[in-house]
């Protein structure tokens, strides 16, 4: 479980544009395989989260990190995740924010309404589906370092430490601050 009070105060950092530019030619398939496996694991271990989504579990969500040269299409019911250069048409909803804010939202370390108020989160399409997704995720108390490191088998413990360190640099570490937003 992560501590929702743990995110560092103030706006979260964004990926430097030069780094984002350098990531453009990277193949998307390896990232898609890893993230799809994480989604499958979350699906297996958090059935209540998908119950909370209700009928909106059928929705196709487009998630666009504004500081990265790629985006994600996620379906909860299947579950299915694909990494794309640009979000396709025909999605039920689109959610855009910096990568750090999206990760912090996934872990419940930031408040979605507050990000809307500060214009750091943009929602288009089916607002009801987005709200259901936000509430379901917030209740799930996801720990991305745990979810990712579980893919590393016997190397899970050192992998988790590495992911926690990386997370600390992006969205803060437990005890670092008392509130973000």
Q: Which value, in Å, is the radius of gyration of the alpha carbons in the chain?
A: 16
**Minimum gap (Å) between residue 80 Cβ and other proteins:** 20
Q: Kindly determine how many residues on this chain lie close enough to bind other proteins according to the rule CB under 8 A.
A: 41
Using CB under 8 A as the binding rule, whether residue 123 contacts other proteins is answered as: yes
Single out the segment in contact with other proteins by CB under 8 A; choices: 21-29, 32-40, 117-125, 146-154: 117-125
d(CA 130, CA 14): 23
d(CA 51, CA 137): 11
Q: Which of 37, 84, 116, 162 binds other proteins (CB under 8 A)?
A: 116
Q: H helices within 47-98, ranges in order?
A: 47-53
Positions in 46-85 near other proteins (CB under 8 A): 52-54, 56
140: closest CA among 167, 95, 105?
105
Positions in 126-165 near other proteins (CB under 8 A): 127-136, 138-141
């Amino acid at each position: 479980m992560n501590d929702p009070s743990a995110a560092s105060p103030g706006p979260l950092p964004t990926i430097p544009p030069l780094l984002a530019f350098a990531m453009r030619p990277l193949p998307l398939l390896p990232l898609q395989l890893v993230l799809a496996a994480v989604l499958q694991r979350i699906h297996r271990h958090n059935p209540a989260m998908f119950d909370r989504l209700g009928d909106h579990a059928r929705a196709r969500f487009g998630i666009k990190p504004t500081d990265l040269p790629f985006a994600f299409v996620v379906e909860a019911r299947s579950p299915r995740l694909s990494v794309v250069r640009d979000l396709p048409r025909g999605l039920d909803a689109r959610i855009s924010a910096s990568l750090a804010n999206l990760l912090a939202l996934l872990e419940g370390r930031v408040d979605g309404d507050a990000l809307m108020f500060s214009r750091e989160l943009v929602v288009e399409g089916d607002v009801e589906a987005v709200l259901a997704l936000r509430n379901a995720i917030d209740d799930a108390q996801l720990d991305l370092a745990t979810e990712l490191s579980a893919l590393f088998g016997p190397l899970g413990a050192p992998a988790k430490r590495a992911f926690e360190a990386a997370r600390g640099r992006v969205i803060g570490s437990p005890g670092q601050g008392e509130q973000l937003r």
